[in-house]
Amino acid sequence: MAAAAHGHTTAAWTGVTITFIGFGIAGVAMILPSVMLVWAGIAVILAGGVVGKAMSMAGMGQQPSTNVYTSHEEQRAARAAVAA
């Protein structure tokens, strides 16, 4: 579906980057046997989700597309208008 951005937004990239860093911290903590560092990594992972959602709610996420219809009736009406 070409109309959808599929997460190519500032909010998505920021949330994923923070979460990726959290997974890296937790992964290193598994090698260094540090329980506190594992929990710190998990906290960063959760913070990534919160930051991504907050940024999305602040308007930096995907905006509604005009190419996506909310109902089948709208889609049929648009097809009929193009065909006419």
- 0.75 exceeded by pTM: no
| 3-class SS of residue 34 | coil
Give the tens place of pLDDT for each residue, 11-49.
Answer: 889 999 999 999 999 999 999 989 999 999 999 999 999
List pLDDT tens digits, range 61-83: 776 666 666 677 877 887 788 77
Distance CA 52, CA 39 (A): 20
Q: Are 80 and 23 in contact (CB under 8 A)?
A: no
Contacts of 37 (CB under 8 A, 6+ apart): 25, 26, 28, 29
Pick the more confident residue, 54 or 65.
54
